[in-house]
């Protein structure tokens, strides 16, 4: 059944912000970043990773996000919502068994409340921090998304290298620093080999290659340590590295309905 394992790259539009919000010490010019999310098909059940931006933010950016929309503005259409894009690619939202959240920032909670049969997996530290965030980080968590009714949460208690199906195909590695409970996802595919979804542990290859720090983080020390750890993981299994919001690298990847298998 391994021929059923495939990785699809999707996008819910872009966010417009200033360069300094992405690259610490950067300029005040406008900077657009893609908002990726992913689907993994697996014989034991399909898995959505993050789901991008909630569709409500396309309909009413300031109403749904509040003041943070003055800093990070969602440039997306309602059709970009993850459920619509998933259906367009031929998938049934009812078949999604798990949603994995790298973390719970506003551009990673698009799946919340949209997949009735899915368990939502997140690190407990992230879930708790979303509810108790410091003043400088609180704007990044939209509680209207996280508290949607009917979400079945499965909280990982400080677990590293959590193997979703026990077969090594989808393995979650703690990578804090961008947020306290951030995790990155290694996907091991039958033909394409390993793909490391770094997510926001490194927005761009500038962060991945230690050229600059990201424009948002909760701990610079943890951010640097997580990149070091993930680079070692990627090197060990020669993984294809996918950075989180990288306007230069993102166009080079295959997008749904194309896939990696």
CB closer to Zn ion out of 5 and 35: 35
CB closer to Zn ion out of 52 and 93: 52
Number of residues forming the site for Zn ion (CB under 5 A): 2
- At its nearest, how many Å lie between Zn ion and the CB of residue 129? 12
CB closer to Zn ion out of 105 and 188: 105
Torsion sign over Cα 64, 66, 68, 71 = positive
SS3 21: helix
Contact code string over 84-113 relative to Zn ion, x by CB under 5 A: ---------------------x--------
Integer Cα distance of 215 and 167 in angstroms: 36
Choose the binding region for Zn ion from 87-95, 116-124, 187-195, 199-207 (rule: CB under 5 A): 199-207
The H-or-E segment that residue 3 falls in is: none
Q: What single-letter DSSP state applies at residue 239?
A: P
Q: Does 126 bind Zn ion (CB under 5 A)?
A: no
* Out of 50, 80, 145, 200, the residue judged to bind Zn ion by CB under 5 A: 200
CB closer to Zn ion out of 106 and 118: 106
- At its nearest, how many Å lie between Zn ion and the CB of residue 214? 9
CB closer to Zn ion out of 169 and 230: 230
CB–CB of 39/46 below 8 Å?
A: yes
Q: 145: closest CA among 55, 223, 85, 12?
A: 55
CB closer to Zn ion out of 101 and 105: 105
Query: b/e per residue, 103-135, with b = 16+ CB within 10 A?
Result: bbbbbbbbbbbbbeebebbbbebbbebbeebee
Integer Cα distance of 15 and 108 in angstroms: 12
- At its nearest, how many Å lie between Zn ion and the CB of residue 141? 10
- At its nearest, how many Å lie between Zn ion and the CB of residue 90? 29
Contact code string over 141-180 relative to Zn ion, x by CB under 5 A: ----------------------------------------
User: What token pair was written down for 97?
Assistant: 């068994």
Q: 179: closest CA among 235, 231, 230, 122?
A: 122
- At its nearest, how many Å lie between Zn ion and the CB of residue 44? 28
- At its nearest, how many Å lie between Zn ion and the CB of residue 236? 26
CB–CB of 45/233 below 8 Å?
A: no
Task: Give the max Cα distance, the chain.
Answer: 50
Residue nearest to Zn ion (CB): 105
- At its nearest, how many Å lie between Zn ion and the CB of residue 122? 13
Spatial CB neighbours of 239, under 8 Å, sequence gap ≥ 6: 186, 193, 194, 195, 196, 233
Contact set with Zn ion (CB under 5 A): 105, 200
């Amino acid at each position: 059944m391994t021929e059923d394992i495939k990785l699809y790259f999707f996008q819910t539009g872009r966010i417009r912000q200033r360069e300094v919000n992405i690259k610490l010490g950067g300029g005040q010019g406008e900077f657009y970043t893609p908002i990726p999310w992913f689907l993994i098909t697996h014989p034991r059940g399909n898995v959505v990773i993050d789901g991008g931006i909630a569709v409500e933010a396309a309909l009413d950016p300031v109403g749904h996000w509040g003041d943070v929309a003055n800093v990070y503005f969602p440039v997306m259409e309602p059709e970009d919502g993850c459920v619509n894009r998933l259906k367009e690619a031929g998938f049934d939202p009812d078949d999604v068994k798990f949603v994995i959240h790298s973390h719970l920032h506003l551009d990673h909670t698009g799946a919340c409340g949209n997949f009735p049969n899915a368990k939502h997996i997140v690190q407990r530290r992230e879930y708790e921090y979303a509810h108790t965030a410091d003043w400088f980080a609180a704007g990044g968590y939209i509680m209207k998304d996280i508290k949607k009714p009917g979400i079945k949460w499965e909280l990982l208690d400080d677990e590293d290298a959590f193997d979703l199906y026990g077969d090594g195909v989808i393995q979650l590695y703690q990578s804090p620093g961008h947020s306290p409970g951030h995790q990155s996802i290694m996907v091991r595919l039958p033909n394409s080999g390993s793909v490391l979804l770094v997510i926001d542990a490194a927005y761009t290859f500038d962060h991945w290659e230690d050229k600059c720090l990201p424009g948002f983080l909760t701990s610079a020390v943890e951010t640097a340590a997580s990149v070091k750890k993930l680079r070692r993981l990627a090197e060990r299994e020669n993984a294809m590295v996918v950075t989180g919001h990288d306007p230069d690298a993102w166009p080079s990847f295959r997008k749904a309905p194309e896939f990696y298998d």
